[in-house]
Structure 1
Amino acid sequence: MCCWCCCLECIHNIPPLNLLFLHFDSTSAPGHEEEEEPEEAPVASMASISVPDRVPSPAEDAENIRKAVQGFGTDEKALIEILGHRTAAQRAEIAVAYEGLYDQTLVGRLQDELSSHFKGAMTLWTMDPAARDAKLAYKALRKKGGERHAWVLLEVACASSPDHLVAVRKAYCSAYDSSLEEDVAACALYKDPLRKFLLRLVSSYRYGGDHVDEELARAEAAELHGAVVSKKEALHGDVVRIVSSRSKPQLKATFQRYKQDHGKAIDEVLEGNRSDKLSAMLKTAVWCLTSPEKHFAEVIRSSIIGLGTDEESLTRAIVSRAEVDMKKVKEEYKARYKTTVTADVIGDTSGYYQGILLALIGPE
């Protein structure tokens, strides 16, 4: 039994109805005219993965994956070349085609064929993003060893769009027969006020518009300063209310007003309280909400520097941002650490695990 729970396999392959018969070759029907290829799924401008100019059909990709995992040995390079250069929508279509053709889930076959950190990276990458984050959150709620595991919950709640967080909550319920919210509320690994803060964050649904109330930003900047600096309560009730409920544009305006009125950015103030774990958690939330590239650059660096490599954190950061803002993460990393993500990954990893990470990081 591999270390990855297989209960999510039923989630990531749930197909739209129009994809159920992708594995049938439409050109085999006599007199059937060849259909035009569908348009490629767009890649976000800050994403780092590359997609070929001509993307094979999902059925063709599924067949090539089957060839790579059949017989004596596995063609890991072929798996990287295919799955490492497809968007989430394309990977979902491949998964549907694969299961339709071979009566086995794609993730299940990868888990059977691959090993070690390469298996972990390929499994996370192939999963539906919402199911992946649900899995990461589930594991984080059951890991002892400090507040750094709470980073996962902060990433899911704060570095995601409101709709993605809703999708994660749905995936969590489907996989574990409980809600993310109730599991956070019952988690004995975190104590109040951190637990209440995490609960408010994972339960939130932020307004997604661009409207900013400048007067509210001024008032709430003062409230934040009063709680964090004057009362020295990083997770004071006012702080939790503001950070867990306001839209990201509103929070950016509030934090800008904070710096304007008090001469120092709120994350700098929190960084100065390094001995305070609650201040560290709030700083992470602030970064994930307003500039997630800062947080993920730090995750990558901290997973590499020191004795040994934290492959789980390294994999999580690269896999989760490759289709979102890895280009910005790489820029932040280079500016802060005077080296590149690529150079550090090459220096600290090896083999096919390194290969999939480099494919997702992209050129720099």
Structure 2
Amino acid sequence: MSTLCVPSQVPPVSDDCEQLHKAFKGWGTNEGLIISILGHRNAAQRKVIQKTYAETYGEDLLKVLDKELSSDFERIVKLWALDPPERDAHLANEATKRWTKSNQVLVEIACTRSTQDLLHAKQAYHALYKKSLEEDVGYHTTGDFRKLLLPLVSTYRYEGEEVNMTVAKAEAKILHEKISGKAYADDDLIRILATRSKTQINATLNHYKNEFGKDINKDLKADPKDEFLALLRSTIKCLNFPEKYFEKSLRLAINKTGTDEGALTRVVATRAEVDMKIIKECFEKRNTTPLDRAIVKDTTGDYEKMLLTLIGHGDS
């Protein structure tokens, strides 16, 4: 489901490092060379490139990129170059320091990553920031937001396929009762979303729709301007259908006055190796225009080229 295109014959890592080193020398940075290398290497290969570059030239590749590149192009190249757990730790750390919309980023990391990926991101957070993600989420959030986000980032979900239909039916009823009573931050509602396996939650939400005639997220649109309800809807989408969640993130980032480069960069950098193929299909179906065309219309220069490279534009 990845859109990353890695050549069948990858050059030796020493060659990649030498070419990158050349790209930074001279009068101007060779951005095209950087895209042609980093934009066509997977996470494991990028990690080895970083290690070898440091050993060969005595410099941290990420710091060199920081020095040589600028603006949105710098942001996407640096995010992409990061090892995925470190990238998630970095994004989560940024999100804990801001309010409102950035909470969506914490939900993305907590609910769309596998149990192991979330654990690795939290371990990377320890190493980078000398404290835990839970500690920062607890400190920087308040009220209902903290009540939801803290258990989401603390969870270690079961990842098997087993489903208990008795539990699904009982918990669909609990969810309906709480939502009907506007008890959106109820302990049981949060417990179900924060602890059950994604397969179990899917069964519960299917039963909810069958039994009560409406998709749960429609019932959670009682007050469209309520930020906590928006976060709850995002939580459910991320757990149940992440590709649709990311399609909407891209649509909102592109289809408005002034592109939201932050969201566009984050989604492309974090999903290119995961499920970008499905996200692209969802995007075209929903918007009747391909994602690459929307990106070309809304971005320019090296930033545009890097985005298109990562979503597999022009690659067979």
- Whether TM-score is above 0.5 comes out as yes
Name the TM-score, length of structure 1 as normaliser. 0.84
Q: Report the number of matched residues.
A: 314
CA separation in 2, counterparts of 1:262 and 1:300?
Answer: 31
SS of match in other structure, 1:193: helix
2:155, 2:195 within 8 Å by CA — same for their partners in 1? yes
Pick aligned residue for 1:78 from 5, 30, 33: 33
Structure 1 residues not aligned, in runs of 5+? 1-45
CA separation in 1, counterparts of 2:209 and 2:313?
Answer: 35
Pick aligned residue for 1:186 from 139, 161, 171: 139
Q: Which amino acid aligns with 1:89?
A: A
CA separation in 2, counterparts of 1:327 and 1:208?
Answer: 23
Aligned to 1:238: 188
What per-residue deviation string (whole Å, max 9, x for no partner) do you get for residues 158-206 of structure 1? 010011111111111111111110111111xx33112111000000000
Displacement of 1:276: 2.7
Write the mapping of 1:247-258 to structure 2, written as runs, cut at 5 A.
247-258=197-208
Of all paired residues, the percent bearing the same amino acid is 42
Aligned to 1:213: 164
Q: Which has the higher helix share?
A: 2
Identify which range, 112-121 or 273-282, moves more after superposition.
273-282
Provide closer, same or farther for how the CA distance between residues 49 and 131 of structure 1 changes in structure 2, counting only shifts above 3 A. same
Write the mapping of 1:114-263 to structure 2, written as runs, cut at 5 A.
114-144=69-99, 147-187=100-140, 190-229=141-180, 231-263=181-213
SS of match in other structure, 1:208: coil
Write the mapping of 1:22-33 to structure 2, written as runs, cut at 5 A.
none
Pick aligned residue for 1:65 from 2, 5, 20: 20
Aligned to 2:296: 346
**What RMSD over aligned residues (CA atoms) do the two structures have, in Å?**
1.3
SS of match in other structure, 1:200: helix
SS of match in other structure, 1:74: coil
Displacement of 1:105: 1.2
What per-residue deviation string (whole Å, max 9, x for no partner) do you get for residues 219-276 of structure 1? 11111111112x1122221110000000111111111111111111112322454133
2:147, 2:185 within 8 Å by CA — same for their partners in 1? no
2:125, 2:133 within 8 Å by CA — same for their partners in 1? yes
1:235, 1:282 within 8 Å by CA — same for their partners in 2? no
What per-residue deviation string (whole Å, max 9, x for no partner) do you get for residues 108-167 of structure 1? 1111111111001000000011111111111111124xx211010000100100111111
CA separation in 2, counterparts of 1:361 and 1:67?
Answer: 26
Aligned to 1:34: none
Provide closer, same or farther for how the CA distance between residues 150 and 106 of structure 1 changes in structure 2, counting only shifts above 3 A. same
CA separation in 2, counterparts of 1:262 and 1:363?
Answer: 43
Structure 2 residues not aligned, in runs of 5+? none
Aligned to 2:220: 270
Q: Which amino acid aligns with 1:202?
A: V
1:361 aligns with 2:316: no
CA separation in 1, counterparts of 2:132 and 2:221?
Answer: 33
Q: Which amino acid aligns with 2:265?
A: T
Aligned to 2:235: 285
CA separation in 1, counterparts of 2:286 and 2:134?
Answer: 35
Name the TM-score, length of structure 2 as normaliser. 0.96
SS of match in other structure, 2:259: coil
Q: Which amino acid aligns with 1:155?
A: E
Runs of 4+ aligned structure 1 residues displaced above 6 Å come to none
Displacement of 1:93: 1.0
